[in-house]
Amino acid sequence: MSKFDITKAVSGKRAPSETGTPPKPKFPKVSQFQCRPHVSNHTPMMNFPSKPPLVVLQKLKTPPLIIGIDLETNDFVKRTNPRRIGQFGHTCRLHKDDFKQRIVELGWAIGGAQSGSTDESDSLIVKPDAFTISKQAVAHHGISTDKAIAGGVDLRFALETFLSKVREVVRRGGCVVAHNLEFDTGIIANELRNAGLEDALQEWSDISKNGVCTMDEDIMSWAISCASGDNERPTSPYQLQFLGLENAVKLLVPKSPLVSELLSKKGSAKADARMHRLLYNSYRAAASEIVD
């Protein structure tokens, strides 16, 4: 038994249409689910009701250590793009122009792969170099061009500091984790070129390919099917939709004061990096409990 059981807060059968054809089912909103405490002596972070497929276990991997990464950019563009495999082998819905965005803040959070506690977390604001920060982006993360100029560091320094943290985690057998990993790693790859750090590109490519995307289609479809009470792997488009970070955390990570605090700070690279870790922790704890 787990500390939390995820159950649907509302239920009911949908009435057939006038033509007699059953209406297309809709995936429940996050508000239609609730996490309720379960009294137990054993309290892992999460327990989904269905065994994860082999492909999910392979993608989750078994690193002893992970580093959640996140970045904020100078623009905030919403596009409807087709699902595809990105340059580092992870599922995404990104356009090539998305990678032209510039880094405004770079964050990381280091800790055990199945422990909710964070050993280290930090972020650096990057001083704009020949770019400004759009109003849409400021509304999202709160960092204006003036603020970044006044309190930011050079891009090269930020990337070198960040890479030193990632390298240490990888040296210890760990990997990077992010929600929509291709977005973060792709922009970082582009910024390595902008900062004159081309020598690190191959290393970064290898690290990115070995990372875990918490928005991965196979992982998310397993998690969503479990949260919705459907023990069979979902295959229809409405079930395979991607959940953004906020909704994924609300639905799949047990409620706690820490989670509430981090959600209140969403849009901060440091807070989002920590939530990437928590989401991965929940997946790993659930998969390990069921498989074991």
| pLDDT, tens digit (0-9, with 9 covering 90-100), for 66-99 | 999 999 999 987 777 888 899 999 988 898 889 9
Give me the CATH code for the 4-12+28-56+74-291 domain, please.
3.30.420.10
Q: Is 61 left (phi over 0), alpha (psi -120 to 50) or beta?
A: left
Predicted TM-score (pTM) of the model is 0.81
Helix ranges (DSSP H) in the chain: 54-60, 135-141, 145-151, 155-171, 181-194, 201-209, 217-227, 245-252, 257-264, 269-291
Comparing 45-49, 55-59, 140-144, 154-158, the range with the smallest average pLDDT is 45-49
Higher pLDDT residue, 113 or 40? 113
Would you give the distance in Å from CA 130 to the centre of its chain? 29
| pLDDT, tens digit (0-9, with 9 covering 90-100), for 174-190 | 999 999 999 999 999 99
Closest CA to 289 of 90, 60, 110: 60
| pLDDT, tens digit (0-9, with 9 covering 90-100), for 230-266 | 544 444 444 445 678 998 898 888 899 999 999 999 9
